[in-house]
Amino acid sequence: MTARVAIGLGSNLGKPERQILIAVRALEHVPGVTPLALSSAYRTEPIGPPQPRYLNAVLVVETTLEAEALLSALHGIEAAMGRRRGMRYGPRIIDLDVLLLEGRVIETPRLSAPHPRLCERAFALVPLLEVWPGACDPGTGRRLADVLSGLGDQGIGPPRPLPARVGRRSLPHTADVAFAVTGSSIEDAMERAATALVDLMVVRRDVVERDRMAIDLTAGDHVELMVGLLEELVFLVDARSFAPRRVGGLRIDGGRLTATVYGEPDVRSEQLGTRVKAVTYHGAEIVEARAGRWTATVTVDV
Amino acid sequence: MGKRNQKKRETRGQRKGASPGPPPERIQPPPVRLVREGTFRWVVPRAGSMTTTGLIFADEHMIDDLRRDQGAQQVANVATLPGIVGPAIAMPDIHLGYGFPIGGVAAFDASGGVVSPGGIGYDINCGVRLMASELHADELGDHLTPLVDALQRAVPAGVGSTQRGGGVRDRDLDTVLSEGARAAVSMGYGERHDLDRIEDGGRIADAAPDEVSAKARERGGPQLGTLGSGNHFIELQRVDRIFDDPTARAFGLFAGQLVVMIHTGSRGLGHQVCTEAVQLMGGAARAAGIALPDRQLACAPLGSDEANRYLGAMAAAANFAFANRQVIGHLVAQAIEGFLGLAPATHGLRLVYDIAHNIAKWETHEVDGRRRRVLVHRKGATRALGPGAPELTGDLAQVGQPVLVPGDMGRASYVLVGTDDAARETFSSSCHGAGRRLSRSEALRTARGRQIVFELASKGIVARAESHRTLVEEMPDAYKDIEAVVAVICGAGICRPVARMVPMGVVKG
């Protein structure tokens, strides 16, 4: 059973951007944790005693760990990075928080999720929504985007892209939506690119897997195969009213790609997100950055 | 969770025209410098693999913005394509596209040139239509809000919207694809005289409906007569100012008038045609030995089988879009006339003009003192014919072609008229709108804590949308200031201002 979790990262000591990147790299190496998307970093004013400004970001991961085990892993990383737990709201080299678990409310002595103050903090909500736009408060069912629009401007700085290709990342593009994903194999990276696109087109948590569509296509190279796969998803939504949830069983054999799209037919309007016109070749890329680490970049026209 | 209902279905998978083999050869994008050559003219000098210069119309602020993104690089990339005639041009509403910049114009020689689907865009013949009433906007009074609601009900909009009754039958779809707005008129949408006020009479010749795939038909057929989402809109406007009274009168415009503007295109049908063509052209460019700085610039030599097939499909999709705006225009006119109790024949809405801003067309232009037949790509740019242009007929022949420039939903829109300078400098082309300044996600972020609907309401503008998110993504601050764009285009002599309109009510998808 995998769960999607948003982890808040904050730092205001020792080159905060560097500390955040160190923590992200550490999280990538926790067994059972797969980073999906890293937000931009946002500079925010500190709460509590006088201290340097914070840099905040959110990493969304998929994990097979129990929530408490994930929390222990976060505490382990904090300790390894030299964090000493002391003054409440005091300065810190790194702060890792479980902000949100998809669809679950947790209340134990060690852990409360969603984070008790998540809905009051624009510095947590803004980066979270950047990489998880459809996120909801599992307790109330409210969309966090709506929660954020009710909060005032809390003095957050502009987004600063982090120099790391971690999981999935939104890239700036004036007309369109662009994202980058990483995977352990070319098939994994393509499935993740598909998930990123599905997340844009539908509210994934509202889609159940009770039907499937087979995809079978041939093309000249890997980029064409990836763009072709994503175009099939756009077609399924726009022409067939099929709501995808995920792509699985993806196989590449030379110039041929086969995969299965899981989801439900007769998409309802409330399940739909952004309407995507097309998947472009502009900057489209799928490469093995280093052994066992594939990165894919895609721009879609919306 | 209902797994027992699982069925397995095949989606058609063969990537048409994609022959296995290496991708198109890549070349380095050329280096970019911007050299000012006049108040509103900036040149990108030839460098690297560019075969011509770039020419950008902009003011200093726009150039500052442009230096921060890749827009000028995209102009330079277009200048590397084979057979480009004249400079690679960008209008003041330029912003980052994919492959070609949005706000781009490029002409290619019939021999040695290319067609690039990315130079037209996914929304083939996305365009704007302006219709004028005989009423003063003030006469609406308290009826504005219910009228906007009536418009929202009249035209299906939003994500994946389809026309009630499922659109047109496949046989009728063939007629739409070959006859454009004419087909819509013969199906009972609007009047024959509307066609005189549509670019190219609402029909691009040489359409090849057979080249529109089954997937494109399946995707777009049910969407005829629908607005779509994103930046598409129906907007009630008041003519706020007239700059050129004789021309305005010839166009049918007067100060204080209630007019309605519609912005939409070829919906899923056009998107699918372009999607398949970009794929096809990847192989074509490879086969023709064309090296590209960006794969989205995939293109085929004019005269090749791939080029002919795409041009036929593109013309058919353009006709679909002309028909779509004709159908929507009729639905809108019916709603307004019905609501206000106007007799359609005598006091109904009249079409001012309907233009395309994502299209490629065969045109004859004077280049280096010689008349040449060229394929002009306009992506986020409109045609702008001056008085006396042979393509103009009827009452427009003497005054020139209306150029419709929609702004954002909070500020203003313009009607301009083309000039002879446009013919000389830009292959008779002008800007198409304000141009985006913020990406959609930046807009969502900047707008946190704001209520766009109330902000617009406080300016007296009634806004309706299928989704709140669309309104935020499309909020006024997400766009450049239309006044600056119009100041550049008119300052450079490409158009003259005729009328300025301000928004009263807007329906977004």
Domains of chain B: residue spans and CATH: 3-113+275-300 (no CATH), 127-274+301-508 (3.90.1860.10)
A216: nearest CB among B10, B230, B469 = B10
For B469, phi and psi rounded to 5 degrees?
Answer: -60, -40
Confirm or reject contact between A122 and chain B (CB < 8 A).
yes
Residue % of chain B over a pLDDT of 90: 70
B214-265 confidence digits (pLDDT tens): 999 999 888 999 998 888 999 999 999 999 999 999 999 999 999 999 999 9
Cβ contact, residue pair B439, A279, below 8 Å: no
Q: What is the DSSP letter of A139?
A: T
The pLDDT score that the predictor gives to residue B4 is 40
Residues in chain A within 8 Å Cβ distance of B97: 175, 282
B265-291 confidence digits (pLDDT tens): 999 999 999 999 998 898 889 889 999
Confirm or reject contact between B5 and chain A (CB < 8 A).
yes
Q: Is the predicted pLDDT of residue B335 greater than 60, yes or no?
A: yes
- Determine contact, residues A138/A107, Cβ cutoff 8 Å: no
Q: Is the predicted pLDDT of residue B189 greater than 80, yes or no?
A: yes
A143 is catalytic: no
Q: Is the predicted pLDDT of residue A48 greater than 80, yes or no?
A: no
Catalytic residue among A4, A43, A97, A245: A97
Q: Is the predicted pLDDT of residue B475 greater than 70, yes or no?
A: yes
Nearest residue on chain A to B96, alpha-carbon basis = A174
CA A183 to chain centre: 13
Question: What Cα–Cα distance (Å) separates residue A72 from each residue in A78, A109, A115, B278?
Answer: 10, 13, 16, 49
A129-160 confidence digits (pLDDT tens): 877 877 888 888 888 888 888 886 677 878 77
- Cα separation, B308 vs A287, in Å, equals 34
The CA distance from B145 to the nearest CA of chain A, in Å, is 25
Among A51-55, A73-77, A167-171, B114-118, whose mean pLDDT is lowest?
A167-171
The pLDDT score that the predictor gives to residue A231 is 95
- Residue A279: strand pairing partners: A300
Q: Is the predicted pLDDT of residue A65 greater than 50, yes or no?
A: yes
The CA distance from B466 to the nearest CA of chain A, in Å, is 10
Q: What is the DSSP letter of B482?
A: H
Q: Is the predicted pLDDT of residue B16 greater than 50, yes or no?
A: no
Structure tokens at A214: 């087979």
The pLDDT score that the predictor gives to residue B448 is 73
Residues in chain B within 8 Å Cβ distance of A250: none
Residues in chain A within 8 Å Cβ distance of B295: 223, 281-282, 284
The pLDDT score that the predictor gives to residue B344 is 82
Residue scoring higher pLDDT (B14 or B88): B88
Residue with tokens 């201002």: B497
Cβ contact, residue pair B268, A282, below 8 Å: no
The pLDDT score that the predictor gives to residue B18 is 42
Structure tokens at B236: 């009630």
Confirm or reject contact between A40 and chain B (CB < 8 A).
no
The pLDDT score that the predictor gives to residue A205 is 82
Beta strands in A150-230 (DSSP E): 169-171, 177-183, 211-218
Report chain B's mean pLDDT, rounded to a whole number.
90
Q: Is the predicted pLDDT of residue B17 greater than 50, yes or no?
A: no
- Cα separation, B368 vs A181, in Å, equals 49
Residue scoring higher pLDDT (A153 or B349): B349
- Cα separation, B320 vs B323, in Å, equals 5
Q: Which of A43-52, A87-96, B451-460 has the highest mean pLDDT?
A: B451-460
Among A159-168, A194-203, B197-206, B366-375, whose mean pLDDT is lowest?
A159-168
- Determine contact, residues B399/B484, Cβ cutoff 8 Å: no
The pLDDT score that the predictor gives to residue B13 is 44
3-state secondary structure of B97: strand
Residue scoring higher pLDDT (B393 or B325): B325
Nearest residue on chain A to B223, alpha-carbon basis = A239
- Determine contact, residues B44/B75, Cβ cutoff 8 Å: yes
The pLDDT score that the predictor gives to residue A15 is 85
- Cα separation, A116 vs A137, in Å, equals 11
A168-209 confidence digits (pLDDT tens): 555 555 556 778 888 889 999 999 999 999 988 998 888 999
B468 is catalytic: no
Question: What Cα–Cα distance (Å) separates residue B189 from each residue in B32, B173, B183, B184, B186?
Answer: 49, 15, 9, 5, 7
Q: What interface predicted TM-score (ipTM) does this complex get?
A: 0.84
The pLDDT score that the predictor gives to residue A183 is 85
CB atoms inside a 10 Å sphere around CB B305: 12
Structure tokens at A227: 């763009």
Catalytic residue among B232, B377, B432, B468: B432
Counts for chain B of helices (H) and strands (E), in that order? 15, 20
- Cα separation, B74 vs B7, in Å, equals 45
Structure tokens at B125: 């013949």
- Cα separation, A9 vs A25, in Å, equals 12
Residues in chain B within 8 Å Cβ distance of A301: 98, 121-122, 271
Residue with tokens 């026309």: B163
| For residues B362-383, average pLDDT | 94
3-state secondary structure of B333: helix
- Cα separation, B339 vs B153, in Å, equals 12
> Exposure pattern of B269-290 as b/e (b: 16+ CB <10 Å)?
bbbbbbbbbbbbbbbbbbebeb
Environment class of B217 (CB within 10 Å of its CB; exposed 0-12, middle 13-18, buried 19+): buried
- Cα separation, B406 vs B313, in Å, equals 27
Residues in chain B within 8 Å Cβ distance of A219: 15, 18, 20, 279
Q: Model confidence at A90, in pLDDT bands (50, 70, 90)?
A: low
Nearest residue on chain A to B4, alpha-carbon basis = A210
Residue scoring higher pLDDT (B42 or A155): B42
The pLDDT score that the predictor gives to residue B310 is 97
Q: Model confidence at B20, in pLDDT bands (50, 70, 90)?
A: very low
**Which residues lie closer than 8 Å to A15 by C-beta, 6 or more apart?**
none
The pLDDT score that the predictor gives to residue B6 is 43
Q: Model confidence at A89, in pLDDT bands (50, 70, 90)?
A: low
The pLDDT score that the predictor gives to residue A171 is 58
Residue scoring higher pLDDT (A212 or B157): A212
